[in-house]
Structure 1
Amino acid sequence: MSENLFSWPKQAAFGRVLPKTKIYEHVKPTQAVKELFVRQVEQIVWQYKLAPETIHLSATKSVPEIQVFSIKQKTDTLSNEVLRCIDQAVQFPIIFELKYEDKISMKACYKRPNEADRNKWVRSEYFSSDWLNTDSDRVPLPMSLDLGSLYGHLLEALIPVDARQGESLSTFTARIERMHAKQREMDKLAGRLANEKQFNRKVEINAQLRGLRSELEELKAHEA
Structure 2
Amino acid sequence: MTDLLYQWPTAAHFGKRIPKEKFYEHATVSAALREKFVSEVARVTWEYKLAEATINLPDSDEVPEIQVFRVEAKGIDVSEPVLAAIDKAIPTPIIFEVTREAVDGKQVRMVAAHKQLGAGAPKISQYLTTGWQPADTERQLLPTAITLSALYAALLEPLTDVDIRPGEGMSEVADRLKNVGKLEREIKTLERKLRTEKQFNRKIELRRILKTKQAQLEQQR
Is the shorter-chain TM-score for this pair beyond 0.5, marking a shared fold? yes
Secondary structure, counterpart of 1:15 in structure 2: strand
Distance (Å, rounded) in 1 between the aligned partners of 2:108 and 2:138: 12
2:71 matched residue in structure 1: 71
For residues 80-91 of structure 1, the aligned pairs below 5 Å read: 80-91=80-91
1:111 matched residue in structure 2: 115
Question: What residue identity is the alignment partner of 1:44?
Answer: V
Change (3 A) 1:22 1:189: same
For residues 194-209 of structure 1, the aligned pairs below 5 Å read: 194-196=195-197, 201-209=202-210
Secondary structure, counterpart of 1:78 in structure 2: coil
For residues 13-28 of structure 1, the aligned pairs below 5 Å read: 13-28=13-28
Distance (Å, rounded) in 1 between the aligned partners of 2:209 and 2:110: 35
Which stretch shifts more, 89-98 or 162-171? 162-171
For residues 92-171 of structure 1, the aligned pairs below 5 Å read: 92-101=92-101, 102-114=106-118, 117=119, 119-171=120-172
1:183 matched residue in structure 2: 184
Which stretch shifts more, 5-14 or 29-38? 29-38
Q: Deviations over 1:2-22 (max 9, x none)?
A: 432111111211112212111
Aligned residues: 217
Change (3 A) 1:72 1:194: farther
Distance (Å, rounded) in 1 between the aligned partners of 2:54 and 2:169: 26
Structure-2-length-normalised TM-score: 0.89
> CA shift at 1:193, angstroms?
4.1
> CA shift at 1:86, angstroms?
0.7
Question: What percent of counterpart residues are identical?
Answer: 39
> CA shift at 1:136, angstroms?
0.5
2:30 matched residue in structure 1: 30
Q: Deviations over 1:60-104 (max 9, x none)?
A: 111111000001112333321111111110011000001122221
1:218 matched residue in structure 2: 219
Question: Superposition RMSD on alpha carbons, in Å?
Answer: 1.9
Structure-1-length-normalised TM-score: 0.87
> CA shift at 1:205, angstroms?
3.7
Which stretch shifts more, 66-75 or 30-39? 30-39
Distance (Å, rounded) in 2 between the aligned partners of 1:69 and 1:5: 13
> CA shift at 1:195, angstroms?
4.8
